[in-house]
C-alpha cells in the first residue's frame, strides 16, 4: 500500500471538545516526523543498537530545533523495542534519561549528576540514607548514616547501571556540564570522567545540547576516538530542498490545528521561516501560542494576526541565529579539514598517475569524492568560469590574458 | 532569503504525526534482581546472606534496607518497632520456618520480583521438622570457604545456619564461632550491621587470607559431625527437585517413619528412642503423629535406616532389619535421663540433715549439688531441688559452697 501523500488531519470530533482539550491535543500529540528528525533518530538508534566503541555521543543542534522532542521519540522507540526483554527481566530498565539543571551557585557538582542519574533509575536508597564504603577485607571498615560522598555515588551508579542494564543514558541540557570547571584543562578531566564511566559501564551516554558541546569532544585524541556525533540541523533556506521540507512541516501543522477553518499557513511561509530560522521546534512553540490566542478569541481559523501577537523579538532571533551560525561553522569545519589531514599525513591530495580506487562493480565513486575534496575553501568550481578567448575577441591581434583575474585569486587563497 | 515558491502542495514531501507518548512500562523490581547463589547445591545461600548481598549491591547498610524496604512489607500493616529488630535476636530466624520466614521470603520476593527466594530458607521442609533444634543460636562459618568465595563475592550458605551442621562439608573442618580479630564469640546470626564474611562487631574479615590460615581451621572435624553435615547438605541440594516434585507433608513423614521402623524390626518407642538417642516420650510422640522430629534426630533416623533423607521421606523402606544400636551420633541429651518428681516433707527431712551435719564428714559438707545428692541419699522422700541447701540451711553452720 503506498504512503498517503497528504499529511493526516486532526480528528473532526475534537471540534466538539473544549478549548483546553483542543489545545492539549495540538501541544502534546502533534509531533511530526520530518526529514532531519528522522535522520538524527536513525543515527542515535544505530549507536544504541550496535553498542559500538563510541560510547560518548554528542547530539547537538540549534536551540529550538526539536532535540528534546526527538529524545522523547527515542525513549518511546527503545521501550517498544525492548518490550520482550523487559518482560523477561523485571530488574532491567530500558533507559536512564534525565535533565541537567543549571546549578544554583554557578558550578555543577558531579554528585548532582550522579544523584540525578540514579534517580532516573528509581535508585534512591543511597541518596536518602547514606552509603557504605566498598567491601574490604583489609581490617575493619566503619560505616555510618551520612550523606554519601561523590566517590560513593559514582560506585553506586556504576553498580546500578551494571544491574539495571539500560540501553543508554541520555543527559539533556548537557551544556551545563561546561559549568563543572573554570578552565579548559580541567574541563577535559571532567569529560574524561564521563568517558571512563561510559567505558566502564559499556553503556552509550548521549549528551543532548546545543553546539557549545562540540569543541569539548575534541579535547584530546582518546576522547575524540571514543565519542560520536549526531547533528540535527535546522532547515536552511539557501537550500531549495530544505525549504521544501520546511514547507511540508508547515503544511502538516496546518492540517493538525484543531480549528473549524484550516488556516493557510503556506502562504506565509517566508514569515514563518524568518521568525523560526528554520527550526521546527521554534515553529511548533510559536504555533502553540498562536493557537492558544486563536482559541481564546474564538476565532474560526488561525491568521497572521494571531501569529504576530506572539512572535519572538528580533533581538532574540538574532542572538539565536548567531549561535546557530557559529555552530554550523564548527560542523562545517569537519568537512573542510580533510585537506589539512592529508597534508599532515604527508599524502599528496593530487597524486600523479595514481591508480583509481574503484568499487567492485568497476565504477569509481571515490574519484568523484576525491575530486570534490581537492578544492579548497572559497575556490570556485572551474566549470563555472569560461576559459579561452571569448568569441568576440578572437579576431584581435593580441589575445588578452584571460587568466589574470584568477591568478590573483589563487594567490589570495 | 531567495523567494522560492513552495510549489503545489501535492509535490511537498509527506510528513506524518509521530506518537511521542511514553508507553506504560511494566512493573520493575524495586531492588536488584540478584540471583540467589547455589540453589540446588549443598552450599545454597541463606536468606540473611542474600539480604546482605542486596544491601551491599545497593551500597546501603542492612539496617537501612530492612527499615526502608523489607520490614514494612514483611510486617504488613503493623508499624515497624525498631526495638524489636535493633537487637537482632529474632532476625536470624528468618532462615528457618514459620510465619516469620514466610513473611520475609514474600517481602524479598516482591521487592526483587523473584520466586526462588524460598530455597534460601528451610521453608520447603516446613512440614517435616520443627523450630526446635533447627537454627543455631549464633553465627558460624568456615574461614577457608570465605577465602574461596573472596574472588566471586562472599556469601553464607544456609548450611552454616543449621544447628546440626557442625563441620564444613568441603574442607572437612569444624565451623568456627570466634572472630579472629576481636575474639568475640557467639556473634549474632543477623543484625543491622551484618556484612557477608565480616564480623558484625569489629567488621574484620572472617576468612583466610592467601597463605595465612588460622590454626583452628587445620583441625579435622569428627566423623559423626561430618556425617551429619553431609546428610544435611544432601538434603539442601535435593530441596528444589524433591520438594517441587512431591511437597513432603507431615503425614507422609509419620507414615514413612512407621513403615521404616516396622521394616527395620523396631517394635517399640523405646527401641526407636535408643536407636536415635532421644527421649522415649519423644519417640512415642513421633509414632503417634503428634510431633515432628527435630532436624538432628530426623537425620539420625534416616542414617539409622541406611538411606538418604529424601529416600526416607519418599517411602523407600530399609532392605534389612537394623538390629545394632546407633553407635555413631552425638552423645545422649541430658534431657533423656529419667526425671521423677517426689513429694517434699520438710518436717521429716530437717532432723536427718541436722544429724548429717553434726557428724562433720567430707561427704556431708554442704555444697550445692552434693547437698541435694546427700539429701536424696539420706531421705528418699526429699525433693531433688539443688537450691534446697541454700534455702534450708540450719543457722550457725558453715556456708554452703
Residues on chain B touching A5 (C-beta within 8 angstroms): 10, 14
Enumerate the residues of chain A whose CB falls inside 8 A of the CB of residue B203.
140-142
Q: List residues bridging with A99 in a β-sheet.
A: A172
Beta-strand relationship, B17-18 and A31-32: antiparallel
For chain B, helix (H) and strand (E) counts, in that order, are 15, 1
Judge: B57–A159 Cβ closer than 8 Å, yes or no.
yes
Cβ separation A269–B21 shorter than 8 A = no
- Radius of gyration (C-alpha) of chain B in whole angstroms: 31
Of residues A279, A258, A283, the one with CA closest to residue A29: A258
Preferred mutation among A14, A34, A132 to probe B, highest tally of B CBs within 10 A: A132
- Please, which residues bridge with residue A56 across strands? A205, A227
Q: Which helix (H) or strand (E) holds A95?
A: strand A95-99
Of B74, B45, B72, B50, nearest to B62 by C-alpha is B50
The answer to whether the CB of A364 falls within 8 A of the CB of A358 is yes
Enclosing H/E stretch for A230: strand A227-231
**CA distance readout (Å), B312 to B66, B329, B367:** 38, 18, 49
- For B134-165, the pLDDT digits (tens) are 999 999 999 999 988 866 678 999 999 999 99
User: Do residue A91 and residue B204 have CB atoms under 8 angstroms apart?
Assistant: no
Partner residues linked to A172 by β-bridges:
A99
CA distance B208 to B3: 82
Cα(A220)–Cα(A354) distance, integer angstroms: 33
Alpha-carbon distance A412 to B350, whole Å?
133
Top residue of A30, A40, A137, A271 to mutate, by most chain B CBs within 10 Å, is A137
Return the DSSP state at B209. Answer: B
Backbone angles phi, psi at A113, to 5 degrees: -65, -45
| Strand, coil or helix: B383 | coil
8 Å CB contact of B60 and A126: yes
CA angle A377, A382, A388 (to 5 degrees): 145
A to B CB pairs, distance under 8 Å: 170
Distance from CA of B385 to the nearest CA of A (A): 48
Closest residue of B to A164, CA-based?
A: B32
Do B29 and A91 make contact, defined as CB atoms within 8 angstroms? yes
Contacts of A32 in chain B (CB under 8 A): 15-18
Residue A169, strand partner residues: A96, A205
E strand or H helix that includes residue A205: strand A205-209
Distance between start and end Cα atoms, chain B: 114
Q: Which residue has the cell 514531501?
A: B13
Q: What is the side-by-side strand order in the sheet with A56-60?
A: A95-99, A168-172, A205-209, A56-60, A227-231
Q: Find the residue in A nearest to B182 (Cα).
A: A140
- The answer to whether the Cβ–Cβ distance between B15 and A251 falls below 8 Å is yes
How much is the pLDDT for B372? 53
How do strand A95-99 and strand A168-172 relate by DSSP bridges?
parallel
The closest CB to that of A6, out of B14, B30, B207, belongs to: B14
DSSP codes, B270-323: HHHHHHHT--HHHHHHHHTTSSPPPHHHHHHHHHHTTS-HHHHHTT---SS---
Confidence at residue B375, expressed as pLDDT on a 0 to 100 scale: 55
Strands (E) across B124-241 are located at none
Q: Which residues contact A35 (CB under 8 A, 6 or more apart)?
A: A245, B13
Q: With an 8 Å Cβ cutoff, are A76 and B22 in contact?
A: yes
Phi-psi region of A105 (alpha: psi -120 to 50; beta: other; left: phi over 0): alpha
Residues with pLDDT less than 50, chain B: 1-3, 324-337, 364-369, 381-385, 387-390, 393-401
Closest residue, chain A, to B201 (C-alpha): A140
Tell me the shortest Cα–Cα distance from B81 to chain A, in angstroms: 19
- Cα–Cα distance, A211 to A209 (Å, whole number): 7
Nearest CA-CA distance, residue B96 and chain A, Å = 27
Asked if A81 contacts A252 with a C-beta cutoff of 8 angstroms, the reply is no
**Inter-chain CB proximity B58 and A123 less than 8 Å:** yes
Q: What is the pLDDT of residue B369?
A: 47
A198, B67 contact by CB (below 8 A): no
In degrees and rounded to multiples of 5, residue A4 shows phi and psi of -60, 140
pLDDT value, residue B253: 87
- Residue B94 CA to residue A70 CA, distance in Å, equals 49
Alpha-carbon distance of A290 to A276, in angstroms, equals: 14
* Angle B382-B387-B390 from CA coordinates, rounded to 5°: 105
- Contact (CB<8Å) B22/A75: yes
Contact A234, A62 (CB under 8 A): yes
Please give the pLDDT value at position B54: 96
Q: Minimal CA–CA distance to A92: which of A163, A10, A29?
A: A163
Contact B17 A94 (CB under 8 A): no
The pLDDT assigned to A359 comes to 43
Q: What is this structure's pTM?
A: 0.76
pLDDT in tens, chain A (413 residues): 444 456 688 888 888 888 999 999 999 888 999 999 999 999 999 999 876 777 889 999 999 999 999 999 999 999 999 999 999 999 999 999 999 887 777 777 888 899 999 999 999 888 766 555 444 444 444 445 567 888 999 999 999 999 999 999 999 999 888 777 555 556 677 778 888 898 899 999 999 999 888 777 765 555 566 678 899 999 998 888 999 999 999 999 999 999 999 999 988 899 999 999 999 999 999 999 999 999 999 999 999 999 999 999 999 999 999 999 988 888 877 656 666 677 777 777 666 655 544 444 444 444 444 444 555 555 566 666 666 655 555 555 444 444 444 444 344 33
- Reported for A370-377, long-range contacts at CB under 8 A and 24+ positions apart, including other chains, are A373/A338, A373/A339, A373/A349, A374/A339, A374/A349, A374/A350, A376/A339, A376/A413, A377/A336, A377/A413
DSSP one-letter code for B92: G
Measured between CA atoms, the residue of chain B closest to residue A5 is B14
Q: What is the Cα–Cα distance from B100 to B105, expressed in whole angstroms? A: 9
Tell me what pLDDT residue A121 has.
Answer: 94
> Which positions in chain B touch A91 (Cβ < 8 Å)?
28-29, 32-33, 112-113
C-beta separation of B118 from B97 below 8 A: no
Mind telling me how many Å the CA of A82 is from chain B's nearest CA? Answer: 11
What percent of chain B is helix, strand and coil (3-state, nearest 5)? 45, 5, 50
Residues of A in contact with B25 (CB under 8 A): 79, 86, 94
How far apart, in whole angstroms, are the C-alpha atoms of residue B107 and residue B113? 9
Report which of B6, B16, B7 is spatially closest to residue A255, judged by C-alpha positions: B16
User: How many whole angstroms separate alpha carbon A65 and alpha carbon A318?
Assistant: 15
CB contact under 8 A, B23 and A131: no
Cα–Cα dist A73/A44, whole Å: 11
Find all residues with CB under 8 Å of B94, minimum gap 6, and list them: B47, B48, B100, B101, B104, B121, B190
* Phi, psi (rounded to 5 degrees) for A103: -65, 150
- Is B187:B249 a contact under the CB 8 Å cutoff? no
Q: Do B60 and A152 touch (CB under 8 A)?
A: no
- From first CA to last CA, the distance across chain A in angstroms is 54
Residues in chain B closer than 8 A to A251 (CB atoms): 9, 12, 15
Nearest to B350 by CA among B323, B318, B388, B322: B388
Contact check, Cβ <8 Å, B60/A163: no
Contact, B33 vs A90, CB < 8 A?
Answer: yes
- Per-residue confidence (pLDDT) for residue B241, from 0 to 100: 86
To the nearest whole Å, the CA of B77 is away from the closest chain A CA by: 22
Strand partners, A208: A59
Provide the shortest C-alpha distance from residue B66 to chain A (in Å): 11
The three cell numbers of residue A30 are 502533534
CA A410 to chain centre: 36
- Torsion angle of C-alpha atoms B65, B71, B73, B76, degrees rounded to 10: -160
Nearest to B91 by CA among B63, B127, B69, B118: B63
Residue with cell string 536513525: A42
Contacts of B205 in chain A (CB under 8 A): 137-139
Q: Quick one: closest CA in A to B199, which residue?
A: A140
Amino acid at each position: 500500500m503506498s504512503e498517503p501523500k497528504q499529511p493526516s488531519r486532526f480528528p473532526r470530533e475534537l471540534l466538539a471538545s473544549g478549548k483546553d482539550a483542543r489545545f492539549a491535543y495540538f501541544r502534546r500529540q502533534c509531533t511530526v516526523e520530518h526529514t532531519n528528525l528522522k535522520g538524527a533518530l536513525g543515527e542515535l538508534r544505530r549507536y544504541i543498537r550496535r553498542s559500538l566503541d563510541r560510547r560518548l555521543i554528542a547530539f547537538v543542534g540549534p536551540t529550538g530545533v526539536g532535540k528534546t522532542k526527538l529524545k522523547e521519540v527515542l525513549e518511546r522507540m527503545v521501550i517498544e523495542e525492548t518490550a520482550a526483554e523487559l518482560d523477561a527481566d523485571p530488574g532491567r530498565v530500558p533507559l536512564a534519561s534525565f535533565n541537567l539543571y543549571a546549578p544554583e551557585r554557578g558550578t555543577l557538582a558531579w554528585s548532582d549528576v550522579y544523584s540525578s542519574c540514579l534517580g532516573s533509575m528509581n535508585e534512591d536508597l543511597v541518596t536518602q540514607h547514606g552509603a557504605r564504603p566498598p567491601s574490604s577485607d583489609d581490617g575493619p571498615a566503619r560505616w555510618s548514616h551520612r550523606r554519601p560522598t561523590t566517590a560513593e555515588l559514582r560506585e553506586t551508579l556504576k553498580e546500578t547501571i551494571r544491574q539495571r542494564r539500560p540501553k543508554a543514558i541520555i543527559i539533556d541540557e548537557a551544556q551545563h556540564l561546561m559549568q563543572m570547571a573554570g578552565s579548559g584543562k580541567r574541563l577535559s578531566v571532567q569529560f574524561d570522567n564521563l568517558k571512563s564511566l561510559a567505558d566502564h559501564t559499556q553503556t552509550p551516554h548521549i549528551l543532548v545540547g546545543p553546539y557549545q558541546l562540540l569543541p569539548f569532544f575534541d579535547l584530546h585524541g582518546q576522547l575524540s576516538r571514543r565519542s560520536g556525533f549526531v547533528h540535527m540541523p535546522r532547515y536552511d533556506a539557501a537550500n531549495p530542498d530544505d525549504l521544501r521540507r520546511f514547507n511540508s512541516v508547515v503544511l502538516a501543522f496546518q492540517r493538525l490545528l484543531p480549528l473549524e477553518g484550516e488556516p493557510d499557513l503556506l502562504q506565509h511561509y517566508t514569515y514563518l521561516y524568518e521568525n523560526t530560522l528554520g527550526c521546527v521546534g521554534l515553529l511548533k512553540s510559536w504555533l502553540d501560542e498562536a493557537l492558544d490566542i486563536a482559541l481564546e478569541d474564538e476565532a474560526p481559523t488561525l491568521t497572521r494576526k494571531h501569529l504576530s501577537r506572539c512572535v519572538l523579538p528580533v533581538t532574540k532571533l538574532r542572538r539565536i541565529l548567531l549561535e546557530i551560525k557559529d555552530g554550523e561553522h564548527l560542523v562545517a569545519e569537519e568537512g573542510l579539514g580533510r585537506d589539512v589531514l592529508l597534508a599532515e599525513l604527508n599524502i599528496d591530495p593530487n597524486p600523479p598517475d595514481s591508480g583509481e580506487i574503484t568499487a567492485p562493480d568497476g565504477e569509481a565513486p571515490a574519484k568523484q569524492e576525491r575530486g570534490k575534496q581537492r578544492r579548497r575553501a572559497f575556490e570556485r568550481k572551474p566549470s563555472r568560469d569560461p576559459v579561452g578567448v571569448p568569441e568576440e575577441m578572437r579576431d584581435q591581434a593580441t589575445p588578452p590574458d584571460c587568466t589574470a583575474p584568477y591568478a590573483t585569486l589563487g594567490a589570495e587563497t | 532569503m531567495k523567494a522560492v515558491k513552495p510549489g503545489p502542495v501535492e509535490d511537498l514531501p509527506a510528513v506524518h504525526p509521530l506518537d511521542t507518548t511514553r508507553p506504560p512500562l511494566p512493573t520493575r523490581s524495586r531492588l536488584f534482581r540478584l540471583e540467589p547463589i547455589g540453589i540446588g547445591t549443598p552450599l545454597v545461600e541463606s536468606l540473611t546472606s542474600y539480604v546482605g548481598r542486596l544491601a551491599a549491591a545497593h551500597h546501603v547498610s542492612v539496617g537501612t534496607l530492612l527499615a526502608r524496604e523489607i520490614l514494612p512489607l514483611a510486617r504488613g500493616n503493623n508499624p515497624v518497632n525498631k526495638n524489636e529488630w535493633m537487637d537482632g535476636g529474632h532476625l536470624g530466624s528468618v532462615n528457618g520456618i514459620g510465619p516469620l520466614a514466610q513473611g520475609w521470603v514474600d517481602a524479598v520476593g516482591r521487592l526483587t520480583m523473584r520466586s526462588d527466594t524460598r530455597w534460601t530458607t528451610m521453608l520447603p521442609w516446613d512440614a517435616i521438622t520443627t523450630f526446635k533444634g533447627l537454627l543455631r543460636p549464633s553465627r558460624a562459618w568456615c574461614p577457608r570457604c570465605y577465602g574461596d568465595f573472596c574472588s566471586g563475592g562472599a556469601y553464607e550458605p544456609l548450611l552454616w545456619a543449621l544447628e546440626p551442621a557442625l563441620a564444613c562439608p568441603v574442607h572437612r573442618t569444624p565451623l568456627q564461632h570466634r572472630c579472629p580479630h576481636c575474639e568475640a564469640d557467639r556473634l549474632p546470626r543477623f543484625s543491622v550491621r551484618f556484612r557477608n564474611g565480616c564480623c558484625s562487631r569489629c567488621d574484620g574479615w572472617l576468612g583466610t587470607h592467601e597463605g595465612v590460615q588460622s590454626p583452628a581451621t587445620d583441625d579435622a572435624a569428627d566423623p559423626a559431625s561430618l556425617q551429619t553435615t553431609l546428610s544435611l547438605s544432601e538434603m539442601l541440594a535435593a530441596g528444589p527437585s524433591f520438594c517441587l516434585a512431591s511437597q513432603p507433608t507431615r503425614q507422609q513423614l509419620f507414615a514413612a517413619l512407621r513403615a521404616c521402623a516396622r521394616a527395620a524390626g523396631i517394635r517399640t518407642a523405646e527401641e526407636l528412642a535408643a536407636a536415635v538417642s532421644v527421649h522415649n516420650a519423644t519417640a512415642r510422640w513421633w509414632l503417634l503423629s503428634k510431633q515432628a522430629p527435630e532436624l538432628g534426630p530426623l537425620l539420625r533416623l534416616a542414617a539409622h535406616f541406611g538411606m538418604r533423607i529424601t529416600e526416607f521421606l519418599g517411602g523407600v523402606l530399609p532392605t534389612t532389619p537394623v538390629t545394632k544400636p546407633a553407635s555413631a551420633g552425638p552423645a545422649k541429651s541430658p534431657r533423656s535421663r529419667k526425671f521423677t518428681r517426689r513429694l517434699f516433707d520438710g518436717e521429716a527431712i530437717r532432723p536427718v540433715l541436722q544429724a548429717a551435719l553434726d557428724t562433720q564428714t567430707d561427704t556431708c559438707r554442704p555444697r550445692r549439688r552434693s547437698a541435694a545428692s546427700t539429701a536424696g541419699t539420706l531421705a528418699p522422700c526429699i525433693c531433688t531441688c539443688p537450691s534446697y541447701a541454700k534455702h534450708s540451711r540450719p543457722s550457725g553452720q558453715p556456708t554452703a559452697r
